[in-house]
Structure 1
Amino acid sequence: MNRRSGIEAIRFHPCLIACLIASTAFGQTPQSPRPAFPTRNPHTPGYVAATQLPDGAVPSPTADGNFIIGPTHPPAPETTTPDLTNGSVVEFTMSSADSKYYPGIARDKGTFGTPDPTDPAKLVITTSHPAPYTRNVAVYVPKAYVPGSEAAFIVGADGTDRMLFTALDGLIAEQKLPVMIAISIGNGSGDAQGSERGLEYDTMSGRYAEFVENEVLPRVETEAHVKLTHNPDGRATMGGSSGGSCALIMAWYHPDLYHRVLTYSGTYVNQQWPYDASTPHGAWEFHEHLIPGSKRKPIRLWMEVGDRDLFNPNVMRDNMHDWVEANERMAKVLAAKKYHYQFVFAVNAGHVDRAVKAQTLPEALEYVWQGYKPSR
């Protein structure tokens, strides 16, 4: 695909900060930061055809397809309420010492890795080692939840998502969404290859979904005094950056557990570590092979990318580290397979752009939950 150049300032994100740490010898010598990312034009040849919306507007929550929003991003009223008036939050901590799935790893500070000299798509990490962690879990419970009843829920990545809780607090009360529990799970620290967060979020397998199912959700039910549905149609996943790719990974490998996915700046790129020959290009495999080569799964997906999103921010020169191109390719293969999806290209937006999230989150949640019928 052609890329339109043009340098603008960007909003930094933890994923970017970690990815910018590169090395010239197996993970030891940091490299100088790269320039700001180019601004991509949503009308670039090869990108999906998309409907340009008036500035400040968002798509209809009932519309499938591709949309362009911006350049200004006024927040939705449901994301700006200062206090939770229709629900409460319960928090607890989990330790690596208690996990059978993730006993903990970390990459040495100031190190990254080097491409395998025989394969630039493969990263060699020599500075990752066992390390303990703790993670915080925050659970939003709406007042409308009836104790003892089985509730729908949404699982989010990267810790307490106050904006999600705020949006649900209003939308559930307005009966625009079903009564649901929201569960924000902290990551195990670090970012990208060689880190605990990278291991959890970028690994192409069902392991993280199984960790959530068997170690997190039982604690949620105990600590928050709720009962969570086992119906996959009443379960959603959500995240930004690698947390976004993780959200789709959970549903892709376990459609028996999750049918609804919401992602901001999804890391559908080559960031998996350790290397796996069955998915050699990590989450890039979604649009390269997995979705095109598989029968359509019962997944409904909302996704967003910014015009100044990440572009090749590390030492790997494998042509699989352009977040905009990756999300564009996702939209193309989802359409070809006739998935129910909505793709938002945000103009004047960086990586997991907070202003874009504040503008779009209520509509995104309504779109993701279209068609859900709670069990009586």
Structure 2
Amino acid sequence: MIRLLCFFLLAASFEAFGQKPAEPEYPADPDSQKQDGVPAGKITEHKFADSKIFPGTTRDFFVYTPAQYDPEKPAALMVFQDGRSYLKNVPTVFDNLIHKKEMPVTIGVFINPGVVPETSENVLARYNRSFEYDAADGRYAQFLLEEILPAALKDLNVTDDPNLRAICGSSSGGIAAFMAAWERPDSFRRVFTTVGTYVGLRGGNELPVLVRKYEPKPLRIFLQDGKNDNDLYCGSWWVANQDMLASLKWAGYEVNHEWGEGGHNRKHGNAIFPKAMRWLWKDWATKPEITTHSENSKRDRLNFFEPEEDWQLVSFRHGFTEGPAVNREGWLYFSDLEQSKIWKVSPPGKVSLFAENTGHTNGLAFAPDGKTLYGCRREPGGLVAWDTETGEMTVLAKNVKPNDVVAAHDGTVYFSEPRSKKIWMIPSGGGEAKVAGEGYSGVNGVILSTDQSLVFAADYGGRFVWSGQRNPDGTLDFIQPYFHLHLPPASVDVKSHADGMCVSEAGWLLVATQMGIQICDMPGRVHLIVPPPIGERFPSNVVLSG
């Protein structure tokens, strides 16, 4: 105990007497001061202790309502993390900017991090701040949108338009604000972070890379930091913020920044707050929509997708869709695993039933003849084939539990069997199914390379897509965990959920994963990640057509 106490005393001494540079003085913006003739908004204080997402927590929050608020007109919204610390300056800035119409009539919600209270005087409370704020995942955004904001705004008329909803935070609150908008751009599109904690605490250090690789999101972002910010065991805040800026610019985001000489505090951020608000809310009355800017991006997205195109619904009211396969005429076939059906979609987009009572068939693939459809039957098992002209089904392999299937141009059929962690094959010309390759950490989706020389197998429970080289007899050699996939940085579920795959004519591998469609080059590196539609499950499979 004495040694530990001495350590803390020494640490405190170094902190107190270290050669830290003096904090610069920043000029006060006139809109940070109360102005004559400007009506002041009101602030109310509240408590929230009903979270299911962060169970057991209690927290204070505060709501600012501007004097100009009209219950008949939806107001804009801005949410602040570490809310209490903003109450000294933000309401005055809001009063002035709203009065001058440099920002819309805006409700401010100022939220403190959660605390799980101590159960007796002899134990400590659990402080949730880092857990809630630093995690590079969607839990905090879910908490905001599903729990505390509905409670805070229940008596107020606030817009659902994400273009008029902003979010702000400092330090760990900064990364929390960024992640809320990153995960839910359908709810927040204007972001201000000061001395943001984009470092290695709970996955934030991965964000500069993911910003470059993810399909762009419609966000407007203002970053602030100082050269004397923290430099600790988890990284340099100053370097991390510069890295975030470089990544956001590279990816084509609408981004602004203000660098200074200060340390890890809000002095500089407070000083530039009015300036940041003017930029974040610019053109709010005449051109409020925040969009992506593919014309400014250096990414590869334009090699794969049309600019500004979004997801389009093809079919719905299914249990669990899988196994997309396209024939020569452009018809899309897919399985409904739960409802034990196979559907087909014509090139114009008309959906019709192809087969039912399929034994919960999963993966599908067309044979080289373009009319034979292979299927992986779950119950009672076996690899089967349908003649798509007659609808007749044939069992090709029994006593196996296949998951996904692909057919080579020479007629060799490969299928994965997750329970045995093996890739099986039926030789060209037919015959008994046999093992083509083994030694995998796991197998799920299976596909051939564009030149048909390699067989790729996705490991659903791991992070790799394995690659094996085909021999003349169809068996596989030199099997390696070749394609390195991204995993969610702070997810409780650490699996990639790598599932169905397809390849492009140019050799790109597209993999359906928990993070979205990950697009890999031939050397095995992820170039682009396309997230699923907001609010939808991550993709189970992917196919190219046309």
Shared fold (TM-score, shorter chain, > 0.5):
yes
Instruction: Indicate the residue corresponding to 2:112 in structure 1.
Output: 186
Of the candidates 327, 332, 335, which is equivalent to residue 241 of structure 2? 327
CA contact (8 A) 2:35 2:96 kept: no
Asked if 1:370 corresponds to 2:263, the answer is: no
CA contact (8 A) 2:224 2:259 kept: yes
Q: State, as a whole percentage, how many aligned pairs show the same letter.
A: 32
Calculate the aligned-residue CA RMSD, in Å.
2.6
Asked if 1:164 corresponds to 2:85, the answer is: no
Of the candidates 24, 32, 43, which is equivalent to residue 11 of structure 2? 32
Cα distance change of structure 1 residues 321 and 38 upon mapping to structure 2, 3 Å threshold: farther
Deviation at 1:311, TM superposition (A): 0.8
Asked if 1:73 corresponds to 2:30, the answer is: no
Higher-strand-fraction structure: 2
SS at match of 1:226: coil
Of structures 1 and 2, the larger Rg is shown by 2
Of the candidates 93, 102, 105, which is equivalent to residue 54 of structure 2? 102
Query: 2-side partners of 1:343 and 1:165: how far apart?
Result: 22
Q: Which runs of 5+ in 1 are unaligned?
A: 1-22, 40-69, 105-132, 273-281
Asked if 1:206 corresponds to 2:108, the answer is: no
Query: 2-side partners of 1:214 and 1:183: how far apart?
Result: 15
CA contact (8 A) 1:148 1:226 kept: no
- C-alpha deviations, 1:117-167, integer Å up to 9, x for none? xxxxxxxxxxxxxxxx42111111111111132111000001222211111
Deviation at 1:373, TM superposition (A): 4.0
Query: 1-side partners of 2:41 and 2:188: how far apart?
Result: 24
Query: 1-side partners of 2:195 and 2:78: how far apart?
Result: 18
SS at match of 2:177: helix
Deviation at 1:71, TM superposition (A): 4.9
TM-score of the superposed pair, with normalisation by structure 1? 0.66
Deviation at 1:249, TM superposition (A): 0.5
User: What pairs with 1:1-376 in structure 2 (closer than 5 Å)?
Assistant: 32-33=11-12, 35=15, 36=18, 71-81=24-34, 85-95=39-49, 98-104=50-56, 133-160=57-84, 161-162=86-87, 163-189=89-115, 195-222=127-154, 225-272=155-202, 282-287=203-208, 289-312=209-232, 316=233, 320-347=234-261, 349-354=262-267, 356-373=268-285
Query: 2-side partners of 1:248 and 1:262: how far apart?
Result: 8
Q: Which has the higher contact order (CA 8 A, sep 6+)?
A: 1
Query: 1-side partners of 2:266 and 2:170: how far apart?
Result: 9
Cα distance change of structure 1 residues 195 and 321 upon mapping to structure 2, 3 Å threshold: farther
**Match of 2:282, as an amino acid?**
Q
Deviation at 1:37, TM superposition (A): 7.8
Q: Which runs of 5+ in 2 are unaligned?
A: 117-125, 289-546
CA contact (8 A) 2:141 2:180 kept: yes
- C-alpha deviations, 1:171-214, integer Å up to 9, x for none? 10111111111110011149xxx841111101111111111111
CA contact (8 A) 1:92 1:137 kept: yes
Query: 2-side partners of 1:228 and 1:331: how far apart?
Result: 31
Query: 1-side partners of 2:156 and 2:34: how far apart?
Result: 25
SS at match of 1:243: helix
Cα distance change of structure 1 residues 203 and 307 upon mapping to structure 2, 3 Å threshold: same
Query: 1-side partners of 2:196 and 2:102: how far apart?
Result: 26
Query: 1-side partners of 2:285 and 2:185: how far apart?
Result: 18
CA contact (8 A) 1:76 1:358 kept: no
Deviation at 1:353, TM superposition (A): 3.0
**Match of 1:291, as an amino acid?**
V
- Paired residue total: 267
Task: Flag as ranges the 4+ runs of structure 1 deviating above 4 A.
Answer: 33-39
- C-alpha deviations, 1:243-286, integer Å up to 9, x for none? 000000001111111111001100000111xxxxxxxxx11111
Deviation at 1:352, TM superposition (A): 2.5
Query: 2-side partners of 1:247 and 1:203: how far apart?
Result: 11
